[in-house]
Amino acid sequence: MVLSKHIESYELEDEILKKLPKINLENNEQFIDEYDSQKMLPQYELPLKPSNDELIYKYLNQQLALDGSPTLNLASFVNTYVNDTQTRLAVENLTKNLADNDEYPSLVNIQDRCITMLSNLWHAPRTIDPKTGNKLVKSIGTATTGSSEAIMLAGLALKKRWQEQREAQGKSTAKPNILMATCAQVALEKFATYFDVENRLIPVNEQSGHVIDVSKIRENIDENTIGIFVIAGSTFTGSFEPVEEISKLLDEHEKETGLNIRIHVDGASGGFIAPFSFPNLKWDFSIDRVDSINTSGHKFGMTSVGLGWVIWKDEKLLPKKLRFSLDYLGGVEETFGLNFSRPGFPVILQYYNFLSLGKEGYAKIFDGCMSNARLLSDYLTESTYFEVLSEIHIKISEEEKAKYYTKKSSHKLNDIWTVNENYRPGLPVVAFRFSKDFRTKYPEVPQEMFSTLLRKHGFIVPNYRLPPSETDVEVLRVVVRNSMSLSLLTKLVSACSQTIELLVKSAEYVRQVFDSKSESSAQENIESIHDLLLTIASGGTAEIRKVQHKESDHDAGLNKKSYRGTC
Ligand SMILES: Cc1ncc(COP(=O)(O)O)c(C=O)c1O
């Protein structure tokens, strides 16, 4: 959450408002009220009097209209599409509190079913009920408000288990540390800071595919290491860290040192993508060293925002000290989690998705995302303006396939499910930057500007730096979610082409100005720079408009006699 700051401009607006002529308005007027003209909406103090709710709706709506369109927010991993049935379920259950076990037993039962289904999807150890054939798991887990809370809980379980072990051995518990790569999302770093655990950041680099440099893990482990966070789907490039390779390395380390370092997998996005798009990738509880996994229901679980999951494959892995038994509102309930109350409807949406989509539905949707992400990657590469850092579009040989996809399982939907395994694994994310050629030819063009100008087409594509040790590299990133249809993708591609060509034109124009600087008067330079800025601000249409006006010779611009705005 961004902490709010005092807004200086508010004072200025207040001053201007004081100078306005007063309009006499009647109280509770239906169509206009004082907030329409004379007053700003209160921002500092609760107003004394109530207001008309329709009017307040109008003002809130006006202000929220300034936000970007969620569908075009390609910066976010969080799902932005819910259908009418999901909306109906959400509205009908809007006021149910997931903490009220006793009052809403069906809701709590739905949460349990989701946990069991996720446990089975992630290959938690199970037994088959001889009578029913059901897959019974010993796992334990909870819904959370997102992956961040889930990660805090997983980290706390690692810390508590390490403390209990150390105390039993009569050893100090003063200096716990945890390992994670520098590409870790901020939630992982928050865990270390909030819960007083030293954060041992392992570098990432180009050779390691911008994820954890596995060769640097062992030197960071000691007897105070509570565990390692391994990221299945990096926020920066979408690449998966090699859970199996890390696990094998830790097996070796354990043989040599006796230290049993356990793994928590941050599958915020990968927890949903991997099982359906890369079913032969070994990353989950099928690896013995993986004790817990988190995911965000609100990302590729495709609920609305506000849902995460954390699951331990065995109930014994969640220390009793982290669980609380409460005598509460007529029942005894066990609770763990950082929050007590939380909305129940996202859990209902999760179960709805499980039932309505099934494994095949998820696989097909993600296939569409992966295919569109590859298409975008290919366009960007072939344009020669860009180079792509994410790897899901890189086709691999049979030999490499055997290296990446080590799980030997057969799937009923083999064709749909394994098409993505012809490429390197990763999230449907396209991380790219200006190509080396482009950077050499136009060093004066800031990449940030590409992102800013795409906004003019409505698309929100962030430009950010790679993590420490690679911060000199800036990347642009598009998350290809369910809401990115092929036709929207073609619009994005066309916006990218127009934007990069505009930047090229602008850069060349500035060069011309500076090349001819000695011959130009100061006034000519001012005009040229003005034209340049106007070209950029208008998204390239200013010059076209000028030409059109000249050609049609109509009265426009300063001497216009009539005005026709956008209708
Ligand atoms: C890898 C990873 N971990 C954790 C998080 C935090 O997830 P949430 O926003 O659900 O709290 C994110 C968010 O993008 C992420 O990408």
- Report the separation in Å between the CA atom of 105 and the middle of ligand 1, taken as the mean of its atom positions: 29
Ligand 1 neighbourhood includes 295 CB (under 6 angstroms)? no
The distance between the two most distant Cα atoms of the chain, rounded to a whole number of Å, is 92
Residues sharing a CB contact under 8 Å with residue 537, sequence separation 6 or more, in sequence order:
none
Ligand 1 neighbourhood includes 239 CB (under 6 angstroms)? no
Short-list 338, 283, 291, 334, CA closest to 311: 291
The predicted structure's pLDDT at residue 317: 97
The predicted structure's pLDDT at residue 325: 80
Whether 237 contacts 271, CB under 8 Å: no
Rounded Cα distance, 218 and 288, in Å: 19
DSSP per-residue letters across 320-362: GGG-EEEEETTEEEEE-SS-S--BSHHHHHHHHHHHHHHHHHH
Rounded Cα distance, 161 and 166, in Å: 9
- Report the separation in Å between the CA atom of 266 and the middle of ligand 1, taken as the mean of its atom positions: 8
The predicted structure's pLDDT at residue 12: 74
Ligand 1 neighbourhood includes 237 CB (under 6 angstroms)? no
Classify each residue of 515-525 as buried b or exposed e, where b means 16 or more C-beta atoms within 10 Å of its C-beta: eeeeebeeeee
Rounded Cα distance, 449 and 455, in Å: 10
The predicted structure's pLDDT at residue 26: 52
Ligand 1 neighbourhood includes 242 CB (under 6 angstroms)? no
Cα separations in angstroms, 468 against 122, 150, 451, 491: 31, 25, 22, 34
What are the 10-residue block averages of pLDDT along the chain, 567 residues in total?
59 73 54 68 88 88 93 96 97 95 91 96 94 92 97 98 98 98 96 98 94 97 98 97 98 98 98 96 97 98 98 96 76 80 97 97 95 97 97 96 86 69 97 96 90 94 86 93 95 96 87 71 73 67 64 45 44
Ligand 1 neighbourhood includes 147 CB (under 6 angstroms)? yes
- Report the separation in Å between the CA atom of 353 and the middle of ligand 1, taken as the mean of its atom positions: 20
E strand residue ranges, 197-307 = 198-202, 225-231, 263-266, 290-296
Mutate to test the pocket of ligand 1, among 77, 185, 264, 292 (most ligand atoms within 8 A of CB): 185
- Report the separation in Å between the CA atom of 195 and the middle of ligand 1, taken as the mean of its atom positions: 18
- Report the separation in Å between the CA atom of 531 and the middle of ligand 1, taken as the mean of its atom positions: 43
Short-list 427, 433, 446, 447, CA closest to 477: 433
Q: Checking DSSP bridges between strand 429-434 and strand 386-388, what pairing results, if any?
A: antiparallel
Q: How many other CB atoms are found less than 10 A from the CB of residue 83?
A: 10
Ligand 1 neighbourhood includes 183 CB (under 6 angstroms)? no
Ligand 1 neighbourhood includes 265 CB (under 6 angstroms)? no
**Burial grade of 149 (CB within 10 A; 0-12, 13-18, 19 or more):** buried
Token pair, residue 34, equals 């004082």
The predicted structure's pLDDT at residue 54: 86
Ligand 1 neighbourhood includes 231 CB (under 6 angstroms)? yes
Q: Is 66 left (phi over 0), alpha (psi -120 to 50) or beta?
A: alpha
Residues sharing a CB contact under 8 Å with residue 23, sequence separation 6 or more, in sequence order:
37, 38
Ligand 1 neighbourhood includes 297 CB (under 6 angstroms)? no
- List, in sequence order, every residue forming a beta bridge with 179; answer none if it has no partner: 200, 228
Classify each residue of 229-265 as buried b or exposed e, where b means 16 or more C-beta atoms within 10 Å of its C-beta: bbbbbbbbbbbbbbbbbbbebbeebeeeeeeebbbbb
- Report the separation in Å between the CA atom of 214 and the middle of ligand 1, taken as the mean of its atom positions: 22
User: Which domains, and CATH codes, for the chain?
Assistant: 9-64 (no CATH), 359-494 (3.90.1150.160), 516-555 (no CATH)
- Report the separation in Å between the CA atom of 272 and the middle of ligand 1, taken as the mean of its atom positions: 13
- Report the separation in Å between the CA atom of 197 and the middle of ligand 1, taken as the mean of its atom positions: 20
Rounded Cα distance, 556 and 546, in Å: 9
Ligand 1 neighbourhood includes 308 CB (under 6 angstroms)? yes
- Report the separation in Å between the CA atom of 298 and the middle of ligand 1, taken as the mean of its atom positions: 10
The predicted structure's pLDDT at residue 18: 72
- Report the separation in Å between the CA atom of 294 and the middle of ligand 1, taken as the mean of its atom positions: 10
Mutate to test the pocket of ligand 1, among 269, 296, 303, 307 (most ligand atoms within 8 A of CB): 296
State the angle between helix axes of 486-515 and 447-455 in degrees (0 to 180), rounded to the nearest 10: 130
Chain-centroid distance of CA 47 in Å reads 37
Three-state secondary structure readout of 151-193 = HHHHHHHHHHHHHHHHHHCCCCCCCCEEEEECCCCHHHHHHHH
Ligand 1 neighbourhood includes 312 CB (under 6 angstroms)? no
- Report the separation in Å between the CA atom of 303 and the middle of ligand 1, taken as the mean of its atom positions: 15
Ligand 1 neighbourhood includes 266 CB (under 6 angstroms)? yes
Residues sharing a CB contact under 8 Å with residue 187, sequence separation 6 or more, in sequence order:
147, 148, 151, 152
Rounded Cα distance, 298 and 350, in Å: 9
Classify each residue of 290-300 as buried b or exposed e, where b means 16 or more C-beta atoms within 10 Å of its C-beta: bbbbbbbbbbb
Whether 373 contacts 480, CB under 8 Å: yes
The predicted structure's pLDDT at residue 416: 61
Residue 562 DSSP code:
S
Ligand 1 neighbourhood includes 296 CB (under 6 angstroms)? yes
Ligand 1 neighbourhood includes 144 CB (under 6 angstroms)? no
Rounded Cα distance, 434 and 447, in Å: 7
- Report the separation in Å between the CA atom of 301 and the middle of ligand 1, taken as the mean of its atom positions: 13
